[in-house]
Amino acid sequence: MMLQPAELSLAEMGELAQFIPAADPEVKLTYRAIPEFGESPRRSIIPVCEPTLGGNEMKYVQHAIESNWISSAGQYIRDFETRFAEVCGVQYGIACANGTVAMHLAMATLGLEPGDEVIIPTFTMIATANAVTYCGARPVLVDMEPTYWQMDLNQLADKITPRTKAIVPVHIYGHPVDMDPLMALAEEHGLTVIEDAAEAHGAEYKGRRTGGLGHAAGFSFYGNKIITTGEGGMITTQDRTLAKLAWNLRDHAFSHERHFWHKFVGFNYRMTNLQAAVGLAQVEQLDGFVAARRRNALEYTCRLHGIPGIRTPAEAPWAKNVYWMYGILVDEKEYGMDRDALRRVLADHGVETRTFFIPMHCQPVYWKQFLGERYPVAETLCQRGFYLPSASSLTVAEIEYIAAVIRQHQR
Ligand SMILES: Cc1ncc(COP(=O)(O)O)c(C=O)c1O
């Protein structure tokens, strides 16, 4: 474990600044009524995301408490695992403490060794790369394709070496990766595919749900995800051997032969029954959340369509995008201000936004590992992209307001 933070030198910061912004702009979120736009429909800040807890959450949590099962055994864990696996079209679900450890646990079942390689997209949240690193293996990066902002499959074959063990497609912002060619390539080379589906609950590829497209998948149920347990995660898989190993490793690798007898270095990555109670109530509402997000995305796209310099997200013909986050790209020349200036304008109007991910090859902690590697599409996404409020509970009136602010500030 590195105890010193990985700081970039001034020269390295200078180098980095040539291809991604050196720092996030200071965006101070304030809300006041602005005469030209009237009141924001919410009359307060519109958050970039928030959970929707309108179903059986309270009832199930109360029941878990009343039954005295609040730890990591209990019926809600099993029910949530079964129900979520069903939603993904697979047989097994392994509930975990969060999405990061779901990805780590899935990779741990592969028995990765130092020097092994796992191919991931550079444009992702850092947990994807860290899960590989925790196993002592090496993340190998590919760029994104510019249309749907997903892993560029054309770059995959060139990255496969005799040390490659797995490929991790990440369904970025809720849009599924084109899985058929990816699976064909993986099969040709005998590689395992672990979907990072942290952001893609309910998304579909050619009618099949994410989480059931690779050999295994990891989901996150963090508070900003489409369904949430506060903190939480799940592995989904059709592979019984993998599932049994993951359940065992999740729980300190307790042996069935004898108590306190361990044959593997396991983990405590368990979810609590209380979290699973919330999860079960959330998964019951998944179809409604997905429908709301797809409707909201359409509302945004219709209203932002045709604004010079604003690129809205595209949906591939094979995809049912669930728009975990509704992201846009800003072309400074055409729009008349850059991404950061537009974020400040929105913040002045009480609209919270978030910049796109910073690619893995630009991260201080991975800088030396990927020294000299460049991934131009990911860098452009990082420079120009940000996402707008995207919660399932967002209203059409709020979208109208946000789109009006963006439209009226184009110069
Ligand atoms: C692509 C991706 N992978 C993994 C994770 C990690 O999930 P968690 O925050 O639950 O650990 C996230 C979280 O946002 C994510 O976006």
Give the chain's domains with CATH numbers.
10-49+286-408 (3.90.1150.10), 57-283 (3.40.640.10)
- The best mutation among 199, 219, 226, 231 to test binding of ligand 1, ranked by most ligand atoms within 8 Å of the C-beta, falls on 199
**CA of 219 relative to ligand 1 center, distance in Å:** 8
Q: In a structure prediction context, what are the per-residue pLDDT tens digits for the chain, which is 411 residues long?
A: 567 888 888 888 888 887 777 666 667 777 666 656 666 777 679 999 999 999 999 999 999 999 999 999 999 999 999 999 999 999 999 999 999 999 999 999 999 999 999 999 999 999 999 999 999 999 999 999 999 999 999 999 999 999 999 999 999 999 999 999 999 999 999 999 999 999 999 999 999 999 999 999 999 999 999 999 999 999 999 999 999 999 999 999 999 899 999 999 999 999 999 999 999 999 999 999 999 999 999 999 999 999 999 999 999 999 999 999 999 999 999 999 999 999 999 999 999 999 999 999 999 999 999 999 999 999 999 999 999 999 999 999 999 999 999 999 998
Nearest-CA residue for atom 16 of ligand 1: 125
Verdict on whether the full-model pTM lies above 0.75 = yes
**CA of 409 relative to ligand 1 center, distance in Å:** 33
**CA of 100 relative to ligand 1 center, distance in Å:** 6
What HEC string does the chain produce?
Answer: CCCCCCCCCHHHHHHHHCCCCCCCCCCCCCCCCECCCECCCCCCCECCCCCCCCCCHHHHHHHHHHCCCCCCCCHHHHHHHHHHHHHHCCCEEEEECCHHHHHHHHHHCCCCCCCCEEEEECCCCHHHHHHHHHCCCEEEEECECCCCCCECHHHHHHHCCCCEEEECCECHHHCCCCHHHHHHHHHHHCCEEEEECCCCCCCEECCEECCCCCCEEEEECECCCCCCCECCEEEEECCHHHHHHHHHHHECCECCCCCCCECCCCCECCCCHHHHHHHHHHHCCHHHHHHHHHHHHHHHHHHHCCCCCEECCCCCCCEECCCCCEEEEECHHHHCCCHHHHHHHHHHCCECCEECCCCHHHCHHHCCCCCCCCCHHHHHHHHHEEEECCCCCCCHHHHHHHHHHHHHCCC
Q: Which is the closest atom of ligand 1 to the Cα of 224?
A: 14
- The best mutation among 220, 323, 324, 357 to test binding of ligand 1, ranked by most ligand atoms within 8 Å of the C-beta, falls on 220
Q: Which is the closest atom of ligand 1 to the Cα of 131?
A: 4
Q: Which is the closest atom of ligand 1 to the Cα of 220?
A: 10
Q: Ligand 1 pocket: which residues have CB below 6 Å? A: 98-100, 103, 124-125, 127-128, 170, 196, 198-199, 220, 222, 233
